[in-house]
């Protein structure tokens, strides 16, 4: 029986896969679902945004500071006192700094006006402005209030904090924690990564939606070589920055984390420390969610329905044996993929899709597909026989290498959430 899809405006018709093009949202389903014989599957829309940004509350460093004088060129620009970060005494704000950096309310306003579906403020929890860590901290409350007031039917403002663990001994690595009622200081005595992982398991959410977290700009063997994992924290840290700061790629870390048992989905953290990145960085986190609401977006992140791309609007999704990307299967031996990739910029030849591949454990490419004629929409439905692999994920190439500066068509432009086999 052929699959069907429905448009948010239009009539159902038969296709082999679902995608989103020009604002029309397509959904997988079956003819029996349409007739009411089976429950209708969720309708997933694709929303684009950012999962990592710093406002003026990250005052210790950022676009607001002038370059140090030559005599201080090799000195640390950040001073740590009493477990809190400050700018070094010799640092001087730029005369126009307020045009370059500002409070959360202005970040959200600019992101909304520049077409983001969602934008996440994640200032460093060890910044002086957040000391002492407590739910009633004035700046923490200001951030949450700004997010609540900025959120409407066309934009979702999310909040969190970056837990910047730089000292060990339980491993090093930065982690964004989203949607918690409280926060902790990564530089406080005894607060290492194992402490954070334990804390996350009991952290209360900030209103609607779950608590979720992402590994930030990871090195290949960071976080104590991906140690201290257990099933509970694996279900909270559900994402990993494959793209950071618009073009820095952390692919090796992604594969290593998956091989160590972390069930993480790719995201893009623009990691901007000012306004410039909001308007100028072109890489995005994409989320497959049932609605553009705080609860739905965070729920999709929890369920690992994300992808990261060096392109502002590339539309990607796939299913395996009928299960949407991010899902865990029940140890099948045959995997039927339904992959749909498209780009709405059909007047720009550089956005034509040139290649898709399927990757499994260890970063091994299982199968690759190059359309005879690159196009703005490509569907691919291979079947793979496999009884040993633990995961598969998808990579995508286009003719221009993405929207980020110096795009290279020899490199992928998008990394899609894995499907886990259940093994």
Please check whether residue 108 lies inside any domain of the structure.
Answer: yes
* Span 258-304, pLDDT tens digits: 999 999 999 999 999 999 999 999 999 999 999 999 999 999 999 99
Does any domain span residue 95? yes
Element (H, E) at 78: strand 78-81
Confidence at residue 369, expressed as pLDDT on a 0 to 100 scale: 97
Dist CA 194 CA 57 (whole Å)? 26
Spatial neighbors of 96 by CB under 8 A, at least 6 apart, are none
Q: How far is CA 13 from CA 19, 24, 43, 290, 409, in A?
A: 13, 14, 16, 21, 34
| DSSP labels, 284-317 | EEEEEESSSSHHHHHHHHHTT-EEEESSSS-EEE
- Taking 50 as the threshold, does the pLDDT of residue 129 lie above it? yes
Q: Are 160 and 184 in contact (CB under 8 A)?
A: no
Which of 269, 251, 247, 271 is CA-nearest to residue 407?
247
Furthest-apart CA atoms within the chain: distance in Å: 75
Token pair of 323, please?
A: 């299960």
Residue 383 burial (C-beta neighbours within 10 Å; 0-12, 13-18, 19+): exposed
* 27 CB-side CA count, 13 A: 21
Tell me, yes or no, whether 274 lies in a domain.
yes
- Please give the average per-residue pLDDT across 225-233, as a whole number: 96
pLDDT of 176 > 50? The answer is yes
Residue at 139 is within a domain: yes
Distance separating alpha carbons of residues 66 and 90, to the nearest angstrom: 10
Q: Is 415 helix (H, G, I), strand (E, B) or coil?
A: strand
Cβ contact 139:145 at 8 Å: no
Token pair, residue 230, equals 């257990």
Give pLDDT, residue 37: 67
Residue 40: per-residue pLDDT:
80
What is the span of the domain harbouring residue 213?
Answer: 48-307
Domain membership of residue 335 (yes or no) is no
* Closest listed residue to residue 414, CA positions, set 138, 404, 87: 404
- CB neighbour list of residue 7: distance below 8 Å, 6 or more residues apart: 24, 25, 26
Q: Is the pLDDT confidence value at 27 over 80? A: no
User: Whole-model pTM?
Assistant: 0.88
DSSP 183-221: ---TTSTT--HHHHHHHHTTPPBSSSS--EEEEES--TT
Per the domain annotation, does 360 fall within a domain? no
pLDDT in tens, 178-214: 999 999 999 999 999 999 999 999 999 999 999 999 9
**For the chain, what is the domain count?**
1
CA distance linking residue 412 with residue 341, whole number of Å:
13
Nearest to 209 by CA among 258, 265, 151: 151
The model's confidence at residue 167, banded by pLDDT at 50, 70 and 90, is: confident
Please report, for the domain that includes residue 197, its CATH number. Answer: 3.20.20.140
In a domain, 327, yes or no: no
> Could you tell me if residue 258 is inside a domain?
yes
- Structure confidence at residue 2 as a pLDDT band (50, 70, 90): very low
What one-character DSSP code corresponds to residue 343? -
Residue bearing the bigger pLDDT, 33 or 7: 33
Q: Which value, in Å, is the radius of gyration of the alpha carbons in the chain?
A: 22
Q: What pLDDT, in 10s, does the model give residues 55-114?
A: 999 999 999 999 998 888 889 899 998 889 999 999 999 999 999 999 999 999 999 999
């Amino acid at each position: 029986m052929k699959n069907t899809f429905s448009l948010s405006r239009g009539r159902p018709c038969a296709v082999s896969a679902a995608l989103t093009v020009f604002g029309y949202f397509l959904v997988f389903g079956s003819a029996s679902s349409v007739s009411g014989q089976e429950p209708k599957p969720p309708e997933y829309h694709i929303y684009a945004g950012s999962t990592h940004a710093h406002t003026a509350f990250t005052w210790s460093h950022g676009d607001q500071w002038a370059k140090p004088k030559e005599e201080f060129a090799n000195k640390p620009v950040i001073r740590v006192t009493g477990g809190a970060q400050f700018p070094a005494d010799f640092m001087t704000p730029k005369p126009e700094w307020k045009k370059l950096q500002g409070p959360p309310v202005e970040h959200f306003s600019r992101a909304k006006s520049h077409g983001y579906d969602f934008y996440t403020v994640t200032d460093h929890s060890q910044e002086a402005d957040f000391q002492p860590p407590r739910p009633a901290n004035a700046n923490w409350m200001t951030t949450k209030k700004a997010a609540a007031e900025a959120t409407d039917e066309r934009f979702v403002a999310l909040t969190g904090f970056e837990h910047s663990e730089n000292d060990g001994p339980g491993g090093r690595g930065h982690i964004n924690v989203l949607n918690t009622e409280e926060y902790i200081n990564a530089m406080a005595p005894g607060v290492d990564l194992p402490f954070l992982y334990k804390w996350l398991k009991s952290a209360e959410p900030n209103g609607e939606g779950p608590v979720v977290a992402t590994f930030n700009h990871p090195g290949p063997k960071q976080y104590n070589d991906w140690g201290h994992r257990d099933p509970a924290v694996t279900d909270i840290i559900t994402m990993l920055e494959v793209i950071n700061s618009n073009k820095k790629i952390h692919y090796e870390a992604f594969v290593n984390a998956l091989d160590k048992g972390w069930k993480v989905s790719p995201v893009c953290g623009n990691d901007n420390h000012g306004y410039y990145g909001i308007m100028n960085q072109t890489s995005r986190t994409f989320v497959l969610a049932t609605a553009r609401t705080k609860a739905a977006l965070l729920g999709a992140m929890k369920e690992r329905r994300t992808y990261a791309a060096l392109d502002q609007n590339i539309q990607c999704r796939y299913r395996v044996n009928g299960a949407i990307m991010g899902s865990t299967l029940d140890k099948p031996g045959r995997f039927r993929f339904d992959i749909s990739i498209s780009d709405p910029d059909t007047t720009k030849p550089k956005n034509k899709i040139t290649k898709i591949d399927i990757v499994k454990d260890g970063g091994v490419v299982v199968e690759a597909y190059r359309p005879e004629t690159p196009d703005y929409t490509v569907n691919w439905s291979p079947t793979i026989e496999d009884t040993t692999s633990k995961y598969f994920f998808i990579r995508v190439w286009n003719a221009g290498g993405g929207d980020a500066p110096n795009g290279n068509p020899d490199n992928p432009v998008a990394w899609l959430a894995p499907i886990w086999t259940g093994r």
